[in-house]
Amino acid sequence: MAEFDTDLFVIGGGSGGVRAARIAALHGARVMIAEEYRMGGTCVIRGCVPKKLLVYASHIHHEIEDAAGFGWTIPQVSFDWPTLIANKDKEIARLEAAYTANVEKAGARVVKTRAEFEDAHTLKLASGERVRSKYVLIATGGAPNHGAPIPGIEHVISSNEAFHLPSLPRRILIQGGGYIALEFACIFAGFGSDVTVVYRGDNVLRGFDDDVRAHVRSEMEKEGITILTGCTVKSIDKHGKDFTSHLSNGSSIGSDRVMFAIGRHPNVANLGLEKAGVGINPGNGGIAVDGFSRSSVPHIYAIGDVTHRLNLTPVAIREGHAFADTVFGKRQVHVDHANVPTAVFCQPEVGTVGLTETQARAQFTHVDIYKTTFRPMKATISGRDTRMLMKLIVDATSDRVVGCHIVGDGAAEMVQLIGIAVKMKATKADFDATMALHPTAAEELVTMHNPTARHVRQAAE
């Protein structure tokens, strides 16, 4: 009788787990992957993909408004939330089936059930089956975190429920100031909802470049979104179908939905990690791993949001692929988490890669800033009151571009390509030597020749 039933058991059928299972199977490993809910995980089922579909839908009202300046007369239009949600659900179901089919085609076995550790090599499935595996990969992702309990917390929805609301909220209060809070604020505002954002910090998008934070807030407020900073929701009362949220600043806000998007926590509970001896990182609450995603138990690995390192889908996929290549492909692959591009699909959207101005000034003695804001060409005729922001951060000693930050239409698409240049250590001279493509917004990235600010950090005496 074989010592192990399988070579690899993957807990979690999200983007990272599926990639790891598929590549490991293609390397010849016997693979099982368990998913208790739906294949595709956060990104496909209740995250990036449905969110972006809703962003597209909500942005259409801008196009309709802008059309008049270009000579179009559009009759009165109407929007039907249930139709959008039904069409979104069809696309998610298609993607879920594709994820399942692709991993099975590679030779892995998919089991639609929960799996927990019974010991370091044994997984107990909800069906009662026990599986002994030589290696185990934990890819259980993360989940919304509502924070400390407050009176009325049972009335709060998360982004998970927002994708399945039976009707569009007329008024919604969203607590949070990060990716998810701002994206949903702009989605609902685009559909005509009255939106209020409440955030405990001094400004939204903590951790992003300060100019980006200020610009995004200004643009959102132009669109009629109310942003209240420096306060939190302390309690929520229900009155029939409506709610009253009482804030820490003494004010109260009425709405027919209250959504919290104040962070996500790693899915580490009730996995039996203590039975397997898997350690938790006390700093972030995720599974502690080394540079190769190996946990405190040599044959147990963890990737993606459950490690709480860099919670982005492409990072989880890269980590899953690297794990499979390292363990089953006979070649060590280390994932570089530096200069990872990211986007916030608020409206206008944000694209960023590399260091913020604050980070660069702390790291380098001489920093040059190239920054411009301008009215997009389309807005000159549409009449829309909006401006784009583009910002390059340069280590003046080496002339290397160490950060790029864009706010405006197409920001994410631009930053994906700029990310290549930053990764390749391109210099400002390389940007300057690149011919502009006219007329585009992106040409500003290669035509900002004069610094808008220069910073020199004096050495401590």
Residue identified by tokens 């000579």 is: 71
pLDDT at 459: 62
Q: Three-class SS of residue 389?
A: strand
Which class for 291: exposed (0-12), middle (13-18), buried (19 or more C-beta within 10 A)?
exposed
Q: How far apart are CA 99 and CA 318, in angstroms?
A: 16
pLDDT single digits (tens) 38-93: 999 889 999 999 999 999 999 999 999 999 999 999 999 999 999 999 999 999 99
> Residue 339 — left, alpha, or beta (φ > 0 → left; ψ -120 to 50 → alpha)?
left
DSSP letter assigned to residue 275: H
If we measure between CA atoms, which residue out of 223, 191, 218, 217 comes closest to residue 205?
A: 217
Q: How far apart are CA 198 and CA 175, in angstroms?
A: 5
In this structure, how many other beta carbons lie within 10 angstroms of the beta carbon of residue 90? 10
pTM for the full predicted model: 0.95
The verdict on domain 153-262 having CATH code 3.40.50.300 is: no
| Domain ranges across the chain | 6-144+265-328, 153-262, 348-456
**What are the catalytic residues?**
438
The two domains 153-262 and 348-456 share their CATH topology (first three levels equal): no
Q: Is 224 within 8 Å of 114 (Cβ atoms)? A: no
CATH code reported for the domain at 6-144+265-328: 3.50.50.60
Q: What angle do CA 143, 146, 151 make, to 5 degrees?
A: 150
Domain 348-456 has CATH 2.60.40.10: no
- 96, HSE (Cβ side, Cα atoms, 13 Å): 16
Report d(CA 125, CA 11) in Å as an integer. Answer: 10
**Residue ranges of the chain with pLDDT lower than 70?**
1-2, 459-461
